Structure formats: C-alpha cells, structure tokens
Amino acid sequence: GENVEQHPSTLSVQEGDSAVIKCTYSDSASNYFPWYKQELGKRPQLIIDIRSNVGEKKDQRIAVTLNKTAKHFSLHITETQPEDSAVYFCAASRSGGSNYKLTFGKGTLLTVNP
C-alpha cells in the first residue's frame, strides 16, 4: 500500500518568514495530493490540493509543488502569520473509480512566532 513520509515533524518560524513542508510518497500510481490544516483541538480542514497532471498550484499565500518523477510534493507558506500556527498533514491517494482512500503523513507542527 501507499506510504507517505512527512518532514519536518516540527517547524518554528518568525512571523513574515516562509515555511516549507515536504512529503514523499511510495505509490507511483497516486494521483491526488491534498494538504490539511488542523488547529489545536479542531478537525482537519483542506487548505489546498493538487492533482498529478499539474506541477504547481497557488492560492494566495500558500502553494503546493509536485514532482512526480521524484515522488515528492511540498507545501509553501509565504509571509507567515501567527494564525498559520497549526499541524499540517499531507496525504496521497490513488483516486478513481470507487477509491477515495487517503494515506496521511504524520504531520508537521508549525509554530509562527510573533
């Protein structure tokens, strides 16, 4: 089955700096890569996703890049703000037909210091 590795496990940055979180996956057939944000005591919520036919996607201060050859994808947050502090999870899926199964990374605790 799919295996997703996520690094780093913790990341501390100063407000205004950029943050980068990286993930690798094992199943070359995976074609969908979402990122979820989970604030303390809250539920995970989707913040951005990318499909395998796209190399990069951007939404305001967040962007995701995908390298299918190397089987890795990254989350980039620019101009970080204290409200960006949360745990971020990457995931991978070989979605299609009736398969919507997501395999999650272990998460990255991002702390943005004011």
Partner 1 sequence: DAGVIQSPRHEVTEMGQEVTLRCKPISGHDYLFWYRQTMMRGLELLIYFNNNVPIDDSGMPEDRFSAKMPNASFSTLKIQPSEPRDSAVYFCASTPPGLAVYEQYFGPGTRLTVT
Residues found near partner 1 in the complex (CB under 8 A): 1, 32, 34, 42-46, 49, 89, 93, 95-96, 98-107
How many Cα neighbours within 13 Å face the side chain of 94? Answer: 10
Q: How far is the CB of 16 from partner 1 (least distance, A)?
A: 29
Surface-to-core class of residue 66, CB atoms within 10 Å of its CB (0-12 exposed, 13-18 middle, 19+ buried): buried
- List Cα–Cα distances, 43 to 23, 38, 92, 95, in angstroms: 21, 6, 19, 22
Q: How far is the CB of 75 from partner 1 (least distance, A)?
A: 16
**CB-nearer residue toward partner 1: 18 or 45:** 45
**CB-nearer residue toward partner 1: 97 or 114:** 97
Distance CA 8, CA 82 (A): 19
**CB-nearer residue toward partner 1: 1 or 114:** 1
Q: How far is the CB of 43 from partner 1 (least distance, A)?
A: 4
